[in-house]
Amino acid sequence: MSKPTHRPLRQRTPSFLQHVGPGVVTGAADDDPSGIATYTQAGAQFGTSVLWTVFLTLPFMVAIQLVSARIGRQSGRGIAANLRVHTPRAFVLGIVALLLAANTINIAADIAAMGEALQLVVGGGQHFHAVVFGIVTVLLQVFVPYRRLAPILKWMTLTLFVYVIAAFTVSIPWAKVAHDLFVPQIDPTPAFWMMIVAIFGTTISPYLFFWQASQEVEEMRLHGLRSSEDSPSRTRRAVRRMRLDTIVGMVFSNGIAFFVILTAAVVLHGAGITDVQSAAQAAQALRPLAGDFAFALFAAGIIATGLLAVPVLASSAAYAVAEALGWAEGLEHTWREAKEFYAIIVIATVVGTALDFTPIDPMKALYWSAVINGVVAVPIMVAMMVLAGKPEVMGHLTVRRKTRFLGWGAFVVMAGAVGMMIRDLWR
C-alpha cells in the first residue's frame, strides 16, 4: 500500500498511538482475564511471598519478546513461518496444535470471566453476555482491518491501570512487600511449583511470541516495506523502536501483574481466602473486604482486558496455523483474501465460547493451560534462539549478545521450573 493512502490516517492518529507499537499491545494482552485469575490465585494462596516471580521474569520476558519481534522484523515472516522453513514439519505442527488448544481454552476462560463480570455489574445472564462478547470480538477481527484495529487495541492498554488504582484503595504493608520482593521464598511442594510454572506460563507465554512477531510483519506490510528491500539504517532505527516498545510493554505487563498479586495477597490472603477460581470471583470477593470502588474497578478491568486479549489469542493462533500450513494470513487482508486465516479466528472464538456451555470448568482448564504454556514454551524458546542466530533468518542484524544471554536465560528459568514441577509430581 502506498504511503499517501495511509498519511491521512496517521495525521489523525494521536501522538500516543503513533509511539505505541506491538510490544505494548503484547504486554497488555498478557494481562488478560485468565492471567488476572492466575495472578489473583497466586496472591490469595501464597500471599506476598510470590511477588519476586514478577521481577525475576521481567528481563527474560523482555529478551524473549525482543527476539520474537526481531525475527519478525528481520525475516519479514512470523515465528511459525520461520519454523516451517528451518525445523521438522512434525515439530512445527505439534507446537502449533498445542498452541491452538491452549489459546482456545484461554479464550473460553476469558469470555466466561467477561460474561460473569458484566453479570455482577449490570445483572442479566452470564452466558448471554459471553455470547455477545464472543460475537463482538469475532466481528472486530474479521471486518476491521489491522490499520484501524491496532489503534483500538492500543487505547485499550490504558484500561489496565485500573488494577494499579485498585491496589491503592487498600492498606498495604509495604515493609513486608519489600522483604518478600527481594528475598525469594520457596515452598518445596508440588502446589507451589505448579503455581510458579502457571505464573511463568501466563507471563512468558508462547502465544505472545507468535503475536508480536506477526504484528511486526503487519507493521511492515502496512507501510509497504519488505525486509529484503529495507536499508540497514532504517532497519537499525526499527530495532531501536522495537527495543523501547518491548521494554515499555513488558515493564507495563509485569507491573500490572505485581499489583494484581499484591491486591489479592493483602485483601484475600489476609482474610483467609486462599482459593479463587476466577477473576470475576476475585472481584466479588473484594467487594465486602475492600469496598464497592475496588470491586467496580476489578470488574471493569476484566471486561476491558478481555476485549483486548481475546482478539490477540484468536489471531495469534490463526497466524501460527496459517504460517505453519503456508496459507495466506494477516489482519490487513480481507476475509475473502485469507479465508482459512479468518476461519481459524472464528473457530477458536466460537469453540472457546461454546466451552462455557459445557460441564468443563473453564478456570480449572485454564490453570492447566497455563501449565501447558509453560511446558510448550521451553522447546519454542530453544527454536527461537536457534533462529535468532541464523544469518539466513536475521540478515545483517543479528540479536545482540546481551539479548541472546537473557533469551537463553529465559529458557533455563522456564525449563528449571518445569523440571521442579515434574520432579515433585513424580514423587
- Determine the Cα–Cα distance for residues 224 and 14; give it in Å rounded to an integer: 21
Q: What is the pTM of this model?
A: 0.84
- State the sign of the Cα–Cα–Cα–Cα dihedral 194, 199, 200, 202: positive
**Nearest Cα to Cα of residue 92 among 315, 313, 316, 325:** 325
Question: Do residues 312 and 29 make contact, with C-beta atoms less than 8 angstroms apart?
Answer: yes
Residues 6+ away with beta carbon under 8 Å from 317: 99, 100, 103, 104, 207, 344, 345, 348
Q: What pLDDT score was predicted for residue 193?
A: 84
Superfamily of domain 3-426: Amino acid/polyamine transporter I (1.20.1740.10)
Domain extents for the chain? 3-426
**Nearest Cα to Cα of residue 57 among 418, 378, 421, 413:** 413
Could you read off the pLDDT of 117-174 as tens digits, one per residue? 888 888 888 889 999 999 998 988 888 876 677 677 777 777 778 778 878 888 889 9
Question: Do residues 130 and 111 make contact, with C-beta atoms less than 8 angstroms apart?
Answer: yes
Q: What pLDDT score was predicted for residue 52?
A: 92
Given a cut of 70, the residues of the chain with pLDDT beneath it are: 1-20, 146-147, 150, 225-232, 278-279, 362-367, 396-397, 424-425, 427
Q: What pLDDT score was predicted for residue 1?
A: 42
Angle between helices 89-122 and 79-86 (to 10 degrees): 160
Query: 141-171 burial string, b = 16+ CB within 10 Å, else e?
Result: bbeeebbebbbebbebbebbebbbebbebbe
Q: What pLDDT score was predicted for residue 327?
A: 94
Give Rg (Cα) of the chain: 20
**Nearest Cα to Cα of residue 62 among 319, 253, 197:** 253
Q: What pLDDT score was predicted for residue 187?
A: 83
Task: Name the helix (H) or strand (E) containing 394.
Answer: helix 391-394
Q: Is 175 exposed, middle or buried (0-12, 13-18, 19+ CB in 10 A)?
A: exposed
Q: What pLDDT score was predicted for residue 132?
A: 92
Q: What pLDDT score was predicted for residue 20?
A: 60
Q: Which three cell numbers stand for residue 265?
A: 495477597
- Cα pseudo-dihedral 326, 329, 335, 341, rounded to 10: 60
